[in-house]
Chains A and B, each alone.
Chain A
Amino acid sequence: DAKTTQPNSMESNEEEPVHLPCNHSTISGTDYIHWYRQLPSQGPEYVIHGLTSNVNNRMASLAIAEDRKSSTLILHRATLRDAAVYYCILDRNFNKFYFGSGTKLNVKP
């Protein structure tokens, strides 16, 4: 399985941008990069995904390094509802998701 590395936890102030990093040095050419988040006692929620180019949607932006060995999830204005565990996952060959330990984001009011 393709491995990703994320910081265990991060903290942000409400209304400020948050940059959540992910390292995936073993990524291969066809691996998609997915981000999900999970609130306590809930199933994961899709956030965003990309292959090579940066991506934007209503929830977040995904910045992918030119060599694709790292990516950054950007929440433009963090709210208290964004406090969750964020998982960065490599999707290899349209196959299974292997979750790493994720980053627990704490948002301070």
Chain B
Amino acid sequence: GAVVSQHPSWVICKSGTSVKIECRSLDFQATTMFWYRQFPKQSLMLMATSNEGSKATYEQGVEKDKFLINHASLTLSTLTVTSAHPEDSSFYICSARLRDRGSYEQYFGPGTRLTVT
């Protein structure tokens, strides 16, 4: 149980275009999903928290107009990188939160590798 999928697993796009990444919880409902970014040889950096039916909350320094997050249902959150530039090339990972006896576990997707040319 507690499987999270992401689509696509990798994507290459041209500078200036937009890219949408989907995150789905396959066997549970997730009221909260998180989006992270990871550059090579670095740790995960939390970008935003996505709550079903409400606006996402972004971490300091993350441009909300550039990284659009939509959490339309209890099993789906999307991240759209708008007007992508080469510096947006990164590994994007989502997670979904599952409550287990008082502690909120996060289950992570496999990640999406974005390359902007």
Contact = CB atoms under 8 A, between A and B. Distances in A.
27 contacts: A32-B103, A34-B103, A38-B44, A41-B113, A43-B4, A43-B95, A43-B111, A44-B95, A45-B108, A46-B105, A46-B107, A51-B102, A51-B103, A87-B43, A87-B44, A91-B104, A95-B104, A96-B34, A96-B46, A96-B49, A97-B34, A97-B95, A97-B106, A99-B36, A99-B45, A99-B46, A101-B43
Main secondary structure of the interface of A (DSSP, over half): loop
B110 A43 contact: yes
A42 B105 contact: no
A107 to B, nearest CB: 19
B111 A42 contact: yes
B107 A99 contact: no
Contacts of B34: 96-97
Interface of A: 32, 34, 36, 38, 41-46, 49, 51, 87, 91, 94-102
